[in-house]
């Protein structure tokens, strides 16, 4: 016979088990939902050190290669004999000697890419010699030393620095420079005067920074200016007035190698940039 009481007990047990399983599944779903809803903290980024140093100085050596184009105008020997001391084209050129001297640069960054700088060096005497020969003036032979000038120029440039290469920081610049002579020495010509002039400057080079303060620099500049040095006499004719002039496109190259020091940023400790 089918036991009705036993069947009811089994049915009640099955219902209880089903309810228990349903509750367990619901709890698991809630826990899973809670786990998924928890946000993980953002990763902590390493602080960025702001090593910007606005001021800089450079000290080193510069090699000046004088590629100037000069033409000599002066009295011809054959005309001087007849008493004519007027200047005429000598049909010869003139060259200026190369020099090596100390180099000094100072400047300031207005931001990490743009800077202004001024450069100078220890003035050195440049020897001026003829290049070529004019048979109408045999005393003015090739390589005749006309005189010496204590030339100096002070380039002032605006420079753009490329900072995306890390420690290696190439740059391009342009500006103006005055050119003048601090003193002159006679040779074939006497009474030498070198007028001041002003010209353009093109610049390229790079800084390689060892740390936030120290680095090394290589720089190339090209000067573009014009000057007309003059002389009032000739050493072979003491006391005689023999005006001459040198038409000079003064366009030297300069190559410098310097030690760089940057300063003016945080003095106590590096400043941590906040982003």
- How far is the C-alpha of 246 from the C-alpha of 223, rounded, in Å? 18
The yes-or-no verdict on residue 47 having pLDDT over 60 is no
Each residue's pLDDT tens digit, 122-149: 999 999 999 988 887 787 889 999 999 9
Each residue's pLDDT tens digit, 204-233: 999 999 999 999 999 999 999 999 999 998
The yes-or-no verdict on residue 267 having pLDDT over 70 is no
Q: What per-residue confidence (pLDDT) applies to 9?
A: 59
Q: What per-residue confidence (pLDDT) applies to 271?
A: 44
- How far is the C-alpha of 27 from the C-alpha of 228, rounded, in Å? 99
Residue 44: pLDDT band with limits 50, 70, 90: low
- How far is the C-alpha of 43 from the C-alpha of 47, rounded, in Å? 12
The yes-or-no verdict on residue 6 having pLDDT over 80 is no
Question: Domain map of the chain by residue range?
Answer: 1-40, 56-264
Each residue's pLDDT tens digit, 166-210: 999 999 999 999 999 999 999 999 999 999 999 999 999 999 999
Q: What per-residue confidence (pLDDT) applies to 219?
A: 98
Best CA proximity match to 118, nearest among 108, 107, 110, 126: 107
CATH architecture group of domain 56-264: Beta Barrel (2.40)
Q: What per-residue confidence (pLDDT) applies to 203?
A: 98
């Amino acid at each position: 016979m089918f036991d009705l009481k036993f069947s009811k007990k089994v049915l009640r047990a099955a219902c209880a088990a089903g309810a228990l399983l349903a509750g367990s599944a619901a709890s698991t779903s809630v826990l899973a939902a809670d786990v998924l809803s928890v946000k993980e903290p953002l990763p902590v980024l390493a602080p960025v050190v702001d090593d910007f140093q606005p001021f800089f100085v450079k000290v080193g050596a510069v090699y000046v290669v004088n590629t100037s184009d000069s033409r000599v105008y002066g009295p011809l020997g054959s005309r001087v004999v007849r008493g004519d001391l007027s200047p005429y084209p000598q049909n010869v050129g003139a060259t200026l000697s190369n020099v090596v001297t100390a180099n000094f640069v100072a400047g300031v960054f207005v931001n990490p890419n743009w800077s202004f700088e001024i450069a100078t060096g220890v003035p050195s005497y440049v020897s001026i010699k003829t290049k070529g020969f004019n048979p109408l003036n045999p005393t003015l032979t090739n390589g005749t030393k006309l005189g010496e000038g204590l030339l100096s120029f002070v380039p002032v440039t605006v420079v753009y620095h490329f900072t995306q290469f890390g420690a290696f920081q190439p740059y391009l610049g342009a500006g103006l420079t005055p050119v003048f002579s601090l003193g002159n020495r006679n040779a074939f010509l006497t009474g030498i005067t070198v007028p001041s002039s002003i010209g353009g400057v093109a610049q390229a080079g790079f800084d390689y920074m060892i740390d936030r303060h120290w680095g090394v620099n290589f720089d190339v500049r090209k000067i573009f200016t014009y000057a007309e040095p003059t002389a009032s006499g000739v050493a072979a004719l003491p006391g005689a007035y023999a005006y001459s002039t040198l038409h000079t496109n003064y366009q030297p190259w300069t190559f410098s190698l310097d030690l760089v020091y940057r300063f003016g940023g945080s003095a106590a400790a590096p400043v941590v940039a906040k982003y």
